[in-house]
A and B are shown apart, each in its own frame.
Chain A
Amino acid sequence: MAVKTVIEALREGLWEEMKRDERVIVLGEDIGIQGGVFRLTDGFVQEFGEERVIDTPLAESLIVGAAIGAAMNGLKPVAEIQFADFIYPAVDQIINEAAKIRYRSTSNYSCPIVVRAPYGGGIHGGLYHSQSLEALFSHIAGLKVVAPSTPYDAKGLIKAAVRDVDPVIFLEHKKTYRLIKGEVPEGDYVVPLGKADVKRQGKNITVVAYGLMLHYSLEAAEAVSRDGIDVEVVDLRTLRPLDKETLLSSVKKTGKVIIVHEDSKFGGFGAELSATIAEEAFDYLDGPIVRVTAPDVPAMPYSPPLEDYCMPSPEKIAGAIRQLAAY
């Protein structure tokens, strides 16, 4: 099996979907001749033509709004927001329109779009190229929110997202793009939305993560295993709909849980996970639910010591694991 990076896997998945279904179009800034600022759509315009690979003006609301319209008229648009940090002008279109079209029309219309957005920090991107926005979109019923962490999952999930009949916010951690490599099968396969994956089996503590933090959590688990702490790592993969079954069965097994995300803490996605665990697995808990997150600052600062301070790291996660293990 070929070893590929996350971005290669995503590119392959999207390419195959465009080959498979001519209703799939991609639109966004610099995605044509430039192939996207991360080169995810490199070669797409040459293969699929300018009608299906649309370089848009610099206008996020239009990118998503036109995708919504095209979806209501039978296409399967995949909109690219160059950086998640720039998605805010399109939030009205995503939250007020895409998420509500099926609901408000009792399925007279639906909105099968995918909005891809590279997110996350640790790449010296500063305040406006590092943000994590999963909590914002996961809050919205009507949206599905996906955040893959491995190349295998990335390819299978992008395919599932394109084939889904409802709007999907597809968050790609930009640091994983070229950092994370893994085996990716040739040809067609789908990783279904709404299914978490236990990436490491363990019996003492559950660590829940997604995106880059999944890899940091696996590193941390490896480090503490030398101290005899056996950590289970759950990769959520899809944040909404949440795979409660996998989450809760892991927590029930270990009795202790740490949630890791690099978004800030207050009202972050970890808050929802914590509440769910407290509501539905309280009797199984042997310690407090712990969150390892960025501090509550508006965004990730640029200068390396500031950025490092804000980013959760394998060391910080390992520290939290040791502390909770001793509880």
Chain B
Amino acid sequence: MAHMRNKAESAGRATKVKTKHKELGLTREKLLDMYEKMLLPRMISERMWRMLRQGKLLFVVSSEGHEATGVGTAYALNMGSDYIVHYYRDLSVVLAAGMTVKDVMLQVFGKADDPSGGGRELPGLFCSSKLRLVSTSSPIAVQLPHAAGIALASKIKGEKIVTITYFGDGATSKGDFHEALNFAGIHKLPVIFVCENNKYAISVPQSKQMAIENVADRAPGYGFPGVVVDGNDVLEVYRAAKEAVERARNGLGPTLIEAKTYRYAPHTSNDDGVRYRTQEEIEEWKKKDPIEKFKQYLKEHGILSEALEKEIRAKLEQQIDEAVDFADKAPLPKPEDALTHVYAEPRR
């Protein structure tokens, strides 16, 4: 009997799995776009590590492993009107938000025409007022109160705009995490807090950061829902994000989404990722790779073929080649450019 029931259950799950994207209202085109948006930051990251080794880049912070979390959440937004408050492990988010590969390369090369800030910030910290991609910094969790404040302003102005903010598990230990979530809960602000829990704050494992299993369990303490989601399953991330965005847009307040994921690379190019993790653990997580997982799904549903996959990769490769070439040749900032934008330029 037990065996029968299991079989029936798995059959049921299989049926459900088959229709997951339709249930979420995602067309073939959108699915392929999502796939591309996950693959692109992965390929860019791989290229950045190569360029680091070639001496072309001084610094890399990468987000390999985080792509489903980034794309699944960003895809639930109204791009260009909703505010995105990211942190340094969100290459997939900024690309999904509309930054071009050239924009990204100009930033990581620190070139004069870097639209994020003319080569001022470390690679990985992007910004565009046009895309409503909010300026961010290296300190941890400081952006959470900003997200609450942005959402507060939208609420005061009566605009149906939501704000999404991203942070790692490390950020949840900071006072700004508590202060922002508490305030957002009090005022039912239209904000979505996305914790990209990759289990380590640089080297410190979750067990030494908190005494609980799920960051999301803290949300009820702030008076709003917390959701745990498989951060390597882009469709499940998207489902959670869509619900959270709808809640926020309809005045029902914040949601804390905890996406369980993993970073394959070290924290940055100045870190050694296997001082505190085993290679075996990293390999285990690679078996649950978000891009591979989504590729399998798309293949199972006849949406992606090997040929199409190759075509997409070739297209992205070419985009990256062009962008690298462009950024490499682009002019560096003039040294004295360091003096501008301290205050608003006086009106003439």
Contact = CB atoms under 8 A, between A and B. Distances in A.
A10 B115 CA distance: 40
Contacts of B125: 104
Contacts of B344: 102, 107, 110, 165-166
B4 interface: no
Interface string A165-181: 11000000000000000
A165 B149 CA distance: 17
A110 B129 CA distance: 10
Contacts of B139: 92, 96
Interface size class of B (residues with CB under 8 A): 35 or more
A61 to B, nearest CB: 6
Contacts of B83: 73
A61 B174 CA distance: 11
A96 B343 contact: no
Contact of A65 (B116, B163, B179): B179
Nearest to B156: A51
Interface stretch (A52-60, A117-125, A255-263, A318-326): A52-60
B341 A102 contact: yes
A219 B155 CA distance: 50
Interface stretch (B140-148, B200-208, B296-304): B140-148
A231 to B, nearest CB: 33
Contacts of B146: 65-66, 68-69, 72, 97
A65 B342 contact: no
Contact of A62 (B85, B118, B163, B183): B183
A116 interface: no
Main secondary structure of the interface of A (DSSP, over half): mixed
B153 interface: yes
Contact of B135 (A73, A77, A92, A104): A104
A103 interface: yes
A66 B148 contact: yes
Question: Which of A97, A103, A108, A141 has most B Cβ within 10 Å?
Answer: A108
B343 A142 contact: yes
Nearest to A141: B342
B176 A61 contact: yes
A56 B184 CA distance: 11
Contact of A97 (B118, B137, B341): B137
Given A59-B179, A75-B156, A141-B342, A105 B145 contact: no
B242 interface: no
Contact of B142 (A54, A65, A74): A65
B147 A69 contact: yes
A109 B120 contact: no
Nearest to B165: A69
Given A59-B183, A165-B344, A70 B152 contact: yes
A22 to B, nearest CB: 9
Contacts, number: 141
Contact of B120 (A59, A62, A96, A104): A104
Interface string B333-344: 000000011111
A293 B344 CA distance: 33
A108 B121 CA distance: 13
B341 A69 contact: no
Interface string A108-152: 111000000000000000000000000000000110100000000
A135 to B, nearest CB: 19
Interface in A83-112: 89, 92-93, 96-97, 100-110
B346 to A, nearest CB: 10
B241 interface: no
B134 A66 contact: no
Given A61-B176, A102-B343, A102-B344, A108 B128 contact: yes
B55 interface: no
Contacts of B117: 104-106, 108
A234 B342 CA distance: 27
B182 interface: yes
B127 interface: yes
Contacts of A67: 149
Contacts of A97: 137, 142, 146
Contacts of A51: 155-156
Interface string A30-74: 000000000000000000000110101101011011111111111
A106 B182 CA distance: 32
B25 interface: no
Given A97-B137, A105-B127, A108-B117, A68 B153 contact: no
B294 to A, nearest CB: 32
B329 interface: no
B149 A65 contact: yes
A96 B149 contact: no
A148 B66 CA distance: 50
A252 B116 CA distance: 45
Given A65-B180, A67-B149, A72-B134, A106 B343 contact: no
Nearest to B131: A108
Interface of A: 25, 51-52, 54, 56-57, 59, 61-62, 64-75, 77, 89, 92-93, 96-97, 100-110, 141-142, 144, 165-166, 241
Given A52-B156, A69-B149, A70-B152, 7 more contacts: A57-B182, A62-B180, A66-B148, A72-B146, A72-B149, A97-B146, A102-B342
4 closest A-B pairs by CB: A69-B149, A65-B145, A66-B149, A62-B179
19 contacts: A57-B183, A61-B179, A62-B180, A62-B183, A65-B146, A65-B176, A66-B145, A66-B152, A68-B145, A69-B149, A72-B134, A73-B83, A73-B153, A92-B139, A93-B145, A108-B116, A142-B343, A165-B344, A166-B344
